[in-house]
A and B are shown apart, each in its own frame.
Chain A
Amino acid sequence: MAQLRGSPPIATVAASGVYVIDPYETAAGSNPKALKVMTPSGNWYYAEYRQALGFDAENLAGNANVTSGLLVHLWQGGPTTVYLST
């Protein structure tokens, strides 16, 4: 599974609203690549939009389970995040 790479612009959400994000694999643009929201307990939710492009072209080719929507995962400290299914 592909993990977060490099330092893409990830926007910290502190207020309710609608935010626009670009596909994670595309070059830097005007929108962030992901959103993160901190829980009261100090964990973080991440939301990202992954497409079969660039470094994910092979991983996600034909995988509509991932590319057809938004990925939400939870970081509770440590090296990995936990993906949340619908």
Chain B
Amino acid sequence: MTPTTPDWGHPALGVGDVFSDPASGITIAPVWVNGTAGVNVTVGGSGGATCVRRNPAVTVSPAQQQGAPSTMLTYTLSVTNTDTGCPAPNYTTQANVPGDGPRALRRCWVPGGWDGHLDHDAGDLDGLRCGR
């Protein structure tokens, strides 16, 4: 890279690109750019953290239930963060209840290596919990 005159026409640094200053040992690289930007910064050539984004592991338990109308059916949604070396992601989940339209569940911050459990009670959203 070469310093240039200020110009909006210069392309931004995309995901997969790395700005590197060998003289100072500083590198700057976007890890993701989507609503927010994750920026991997290496200072002094120390290597820094390597952030790898992966799709979370998602399970629903039980997979299937039956019940009479107005019967409360409880499902547990488990979201496991499989990222490594990244800041905690913010997962947003949504339950689609037949005949009742989509319902947004609350957000849950899930640090790497932890599991986030969003317990969704299809009949009563007050039963929602978020924890590890």
Q: For the complex, is B98 an interface residue (Cβ under 8 Å from A)? A: no
Distance between Cα atoms of A65 and B6 in the complex (Å): 13
Residue of B12, B41, B86 with most chain A CB atoms under a 10 A cut-off? B12
Chain A window 71-84, contacts with chain B (Cβ cutoff 8 Å), 1 for yes, 0 for no: 11110000011111
Asked whether, in the complex, the Cβ of A83 is within 8 Å of the Cβ of B40, the reply is: no
CB contacts (< 8 Å) of B51 on chain A: these are 18
Complex: chain A residue closest to B37, CB-CB:
A49
Indicate whether A69 sits within 8 Å of B47 (C-beta atoms), given known contacts A35-B41, A84-B3. Answer: no
Distance between Cα atoms of A41 and B44 in the complex (Å): 12
Q: For the complex, is B70 an interface residue (Cβ under 8 Å from A)? A: no
CB contacts (< 8 Å) of A84 on chain B: these are 1-4, 10, 19
Q: For the complex, is A57 an interface residue (Cβ under 8 Å from B)? A: no
Chain A min CB distance to B33 (Å): 6
Asked whether, in the complex, the Cβ of B6 is within 8 Å of the Cβ of A70, the reply is: no
Instruction: Bin the interface of chain A by size.
Output: 35 or more
CB contacts (< 8 Å) of A85 on chain B: these are 1-2, 4, 10-11
Complex: chain A residue closest to B40, CB-CB:
A18
Which of B20-28, B58-66, B72-80 contacts its partner? B20-28
Q: For the complex, is B113 an interface residue (Cβ under 8 Å from A)? A: no
Residue of B6, B8, B42 with most chain A CB atoms under a 10 A cut-off? B8
Asked whether, in the complex, the Cβ of A18 is within 8 Å of the Cβ of B31, the reply is: yes
Chain B min CB distance to A63 (Å): 6
Q: For the complex, is B71 an interface residue (Cβ under 8 Å from A)? A: no
Asked whether, in the complex, the Cβ of A47 is within 8 Å of the Cβ of B39, the reply is: yes
Asked whether, in the complex, the Cβ of B39 is within 8 Å of the Cβ of A70, the reply is: yes
Distance between Cα atoms of A45 and B25 in the complex (Å): 12
Distance between Cα atoms of A36 and B38 in the complex (Å): 14
CB contacts (< 8 Å) of B10 on chain A: these are 65, 83-86
Distance between Cα atoms of A9 and B119 in the complex (Å): 36
Binding site for A on B (CB under 8 A): 1-15, 17, 19, 21, 23-24, 26, 28, 30-31, 33, 35-44, 46-49, 51, 85-87
